[in-house]
Structure 1
């Protein structure tokens, strides 16, 4: 049986090249009969284009048979990902331009100006309707989970509390958690799928039986 879905890709980065394994699902019928082979990994090397807009590579997959053996194919599969802006840029003055944040079903945009310490202040003059691209979510408790933010060549993930001031028109963002995304792929959940951080790239891989892939 042939592959029915990509599960995820894990590996390491060196320069413009990402080397690792792409993990795939075979048909669900094999989940019980061949549990060790139902999800299988194949070697894959991805190379970023010179303009930084796409990464592309090839891998040789295989077919799974009823005796649970995998026979490698004789031809390679080409896979290409197109960059989609999911990483926010942090300016040298630590200003954060949030182009799309979704709260209770509505998409907003706003600039957060750095104040001091772990505090940012929302520039209310920049409040507006967010763009139609990928949005970060704002929880009901007003926690902003910004999982990919680029600052001076490094990629960070952080969580920020949005606090109401005595002045109801003032929103203060307080940084409560930050971590540096290292030079390896880091996986977390993204709308029920897997979110892959690789440098300034962030990809949502499709989940099984729901293979709308966002790249």
Structure 2
């Protein structure tokens, strides 16, 4: 695949807490990091997102007495999945996985999200209230980007919501399936249904290396 000057690679949350041994580990999370580095070498424009939570984040089950992780609660902006405490600002778990260091070094920007304790943030474009922007959309437009390729963690949450918002913001969105990993089969299937509906394209990384 030819990469155009108007393309960018968005690397979603390649952080320790989403990899093996982390607080919210995604199976196979660490193994995609070398592939992400290979992909990043091909792009002139790379942007990385980073979950960046305070300890009192509304999405942490520990902040809802009696609630268990992976259950839903209703909050001001709608339903919210509750998670184990993860990616707390300044913690080792919030750090980027060491194997993805070349990509982070190359990145033009790191977009931190989820730092407002009252609102979680899956998408790299908006917090979960779907109104508060992160600045990513403006940055991409300033760079002249019209198409984004997405890789990272997790396929069925932060990659999915970033891809969906990219389309809604007028960008073409392409998810590199084997450079992402999902939390659960059901939510992975739901993400793919959404991608088909929004015309988000899925490809394999070999498309770039053939």
Q: Which has the higher contact order (CA 8 A, sep 6+)?
A: 2
With structure 2 as the length reference, what TM-score do the two structures score? Answer: 0.23
Q: Which has the higher helix share?
A: 2
* TM-score, normalization by structure 1: 0.22
| Structure possessing the higher radius of gyration over alpha carbons | 1
